[in-house]
Amino acid sequence: MSIRATVSLLCISLSLTVLLACADSAENAPRKTVISLFGAMEKNDQAALIYLLDLPELMKNLNEDYALQNDSPRVFTSPEQILEDLTGEGLTKKTWFSLQRIISKVHVGGDDVASVDVTFVDKEKSQGYMTRFGLHKVNGKWKIYSFKTVSGS
């Protein structure tokens, strides 16, 4: 094989590697954000949650309670209330951490919008709740702006 052919194959291989890495990171970044959310919740790290959540957007949730077990939605009037709900003895933290969490599909819609499906499984009741975490980019960083329970089975 000639040097020119070898260089051409090397360039094609390198280009494919870069393209695959970009595609992989586009899907993994939202997933890593959700995983980081659960890690910050476990550690009661409100500073990390501020970095991972779009708190103003979460405060706009008026129609559905994301803690899974409340029939009527709770309305949060400050970012601090959301942070307290996701840490310590907060209802959402207690509910989510009492269930098995399975992070499954990632849906990337363009460069700045994504969703990650998380199933919360109640083993005692043999029931699962599929929740879609909405993410979008804010100043180049993925932030979670919604938690929507899609189905309970």
Residue 54 neighbours by CB distance under 10 Å: 19
Q: Domain count of the chain?
A: 1
Q: Residue 118 contacts by C-beta under 8 Å, 6 or more apart in sequence?
A: 34, 101, 102, 103, 104, 130, 131, 132, 133
Residue 2 belongs to some domain of the structure = no
pLDDT digits (tens, 9 = 90+) for 78-116: 899 999 999 999 999 999 999 999 998 999 998 899 999
Output the pLDDT for position 2.
Answer: 57
Q: Which amino acid does the sequence have at 25?
A: S
Domain of residue 104: give its range.
30-152
More confident residue, 28 or 113: 113
**CATH code, domain with 137:** 3.10.450.50
If you average pLDDT over residues 148-152, what whole number do you get? 74
pLDDT for 21 equals 41
> pTM for the whole thing?
0.78
Query: Average of pLDDT values for 4-19?
Result: 42
Residue 17 lies in a domain: no
- DSSP secondary structure string for all residues of 2-23: -HHHHHHHHHHHHHHHHHHHHH
Query: Within a domain: residue 61?
Result: yes
For the chain, how far is it from start to end, CA to CA, in angstroms? 59
CA dihedral 47, 115, 73, 79 (to 10 degrees): 20
pLDDT digit string, tens, across residues 31-88: 999 999 999 999 999 999 999 999 999 888 776 666 665 667 777 888 999 999 999 9
pLDDT band, residue 9 (cuts 50/70/90): very low
pLDDT at 4: 57
Give the pLDDT confidence score for residue 98 in this predicted structure.
Answer: 93
Asked if residue 24 is part of any domain, the answer here is: no
pLDDT at 150: 77
Residue 5: pLDDT over 80 = no
